[in-house]
């Protein structure tokens, strides 16, 4: 019997864009995603973390089939996504986006919004579709009367519940959650996170959970991958990565959780002034202009993503240093 394939596998995925259109503008290549390889097993939650612009959402769009990789392969359930039909793909992967305000059509009522994927793909009779919508409303904790409401009549939390119901109506195996709580009030965020946890348990879902906020990821993910300028720089069991980060960038992201307001992102730390620019990726380790543990080898040589002794992988020369080498990452809060 052949082994069950992972629900998601990325093999050396790159995404490049040409920018600078027009006769006089110089054409340049923007590399949004660079050589990402990852696996997501069934019923697993993988947290993908990193600052805005690090390539997380581009990666999500390729996993959803909304963009094609420039190089490499995306496999869903062991099959290349490019060879799947729209319905087949829709039954494997669905998105929940950040902003429930803009992702719902204001001119359709809730029943039409949730039932749209079934109608588009011609799944079931009209009566079966009505039943499926009613079931979805119950699953996401809304009352039958909400079926007739319009998005403008609902709260932010209720709208995100509708977006989740719409994502699940085709009964996908994998849900790509791209910052699903960042547009919501803090008091509503935990309700939506608890709903996602509950649905995962009940429906056996796998999540790719994308966020800049490690506090949120910590609540859901069994495994975590950190992205910086299009590359995975650290990956492993959530307990290890969040408890003992081996990459200075992951350590900096983690330190931001300790600030009074985690939504502020990275705290002011001595990470240098060079904010990452995907059009001008620094040579060697791309993080070196901001890294508090930088040493002479870093600007010269890009570190490979190598196994760490305590599990997982990290792309930092420090994990290769013998005893007595440069000191481990030390992050200092600015005065």
Question: Contact residues for ligand SF4 (CB under 6 A)?
Answer: 247-248, 285, 287-288, 291, 293-294, 298, 303, 316-318
Rounded least distance, CB 233 to ligand SF4, Å: 7
Nearer to ligand SF4, 90 or 303 (CB): 303
Nearer to ligand SF4, 36 or 110 (CB): 36
In the three-class reduction of DSSP (H, G, I as helix; E, B as strand; rest coil), residue 258 is classed as coil
Nearer to ligand SF4, 106 or 283 (CB): 283
Rounded least distance, CB 243 to ligand SF4, Å: 19
Q: Nearest-5° angle of CA 225, CA 228, CA 231?
A: 75
Rounded least distance, CB 313 to ligand SF4, Å: 13
Q: DSSP secondary structure string, 259-324?
A: SS-GGG-S-SBSS-S----TTSPPSSSTTGGG-TT--TTTTTSPPP-EE-TTSSEE--GGGGPPTT
**Residue 308 φ then ψ, to 5°:** -95, 150
Nearer to ligand SF4, 80 or 328 (CB): 328
Find the distance separating the first CA and the last CA of the chain, reported in whole Å: 60
Rounded least distance, CB 33 to ligand SF4, Å: 19
Nearer to ligand SF4, 209 or 287 (CB): 287
Rounded least distance, CB 242 to ligand SF4, Å: 18
Nearer to ligand SF4, 3 or 327 (CB): 327
**Region for residue 314 given its phi and psi (left: phi exceeds 0; alpha: psi -120 to 50; beta: otherwise):** beta
Rounded least distance, CB 329 to ligand SF4, Å: 7
Rounded least distance, CB 303 to ligand SF4, Å: 5
Q: How many CB atoms lie within 10 A of CB 200?
A: 17
Nearer to ligand SF4, 31 or 173 (CB): 31
Nearer to ligand SF4, 60 or 294 (CB): 294
CA 294 distance to own-chain centroid: 28
In the three-class reduction of DSSP (H, G, I as helix; E, B as strand; rest coil), residue 237 is classed as strand
Structure tokens, 120 = 């588009």
Decide: 148 and 110 in contact? Cβ < 8 Å.
yes
Rounded least distance, CB 226 to ligand SF4, Å: 11
**CA 322 → CA 55, 146, 161, 204, 326, distances in Å?**
32, 62, 51, 43, 9
Q: How many CB atoms lie within 10 A of CB 326?
A: 14
């Amino acid at each position: 019997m052949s082994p069950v394939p992972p629900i998601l596998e990325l093999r050396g995925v790159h995404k490049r864009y040409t920018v600078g259109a027009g006769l006089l503008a110089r054409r340049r290549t923007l590399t949004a995603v660079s050589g990402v390889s990852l696996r997501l097993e069934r019923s697993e939650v993988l947290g993908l973390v990193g600052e805005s612009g690090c390539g997380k959402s581009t990666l999500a769009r390729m996993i959803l089939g909304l963009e094609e990789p420039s190089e490499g392969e995306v496999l869903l359930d062991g099959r290349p996504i490019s060879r799947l039909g729209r319905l087949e793909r829709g039954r494997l992967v669905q998105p929940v986006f950040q902003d429930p305000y803009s992702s719902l059509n204001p001119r359709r009522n809730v029943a039409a919004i949730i039932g749209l994927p079934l109608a588009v793909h011609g799944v079931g009779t009209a009566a079966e579709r009505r039943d499926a919508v009613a079931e979805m409303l119950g699953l996401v904790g809304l009352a039958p009367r909400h079926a007739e409401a319009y998005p403008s009549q609902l709260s932010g939390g209720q709208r995100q519940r509708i977006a989740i119901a719409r994502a699940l109506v085709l009964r996908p195996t994998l849900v790509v959650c791209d910052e699903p709580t960042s547009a919501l009030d803090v008091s509503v965020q935990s309700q939506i996170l608890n709903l996602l946890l509950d649905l995962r348990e009940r429906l056996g879902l796998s999540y790719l959970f994308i966020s800049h906020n490690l506090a949120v990821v910590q609540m859901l993910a069994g495994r975590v991958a950190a992205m910086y300028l299009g590359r995975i720089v650290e990956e492993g069991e959530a307990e290890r990565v969040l408890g003992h980060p081996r990459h200075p960038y992951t350590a900096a992201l983690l330190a931001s959780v300790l600030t009074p307001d985690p939504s502020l992102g990275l705290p002011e730390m001595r990470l240098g002034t060079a904010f990452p620019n995907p059009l001008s990726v620094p040579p060697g380790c791309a993080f070196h202009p901001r890294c508090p543990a930088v040493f002479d080898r870093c600007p010269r040589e890009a570190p490979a993503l190598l196994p760490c002794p305590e599990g997982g992988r990290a792309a930092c020369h420090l994990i290769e240093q013998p005893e007595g080498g440069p000191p481990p990452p030390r992050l200092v809060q600015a005065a």
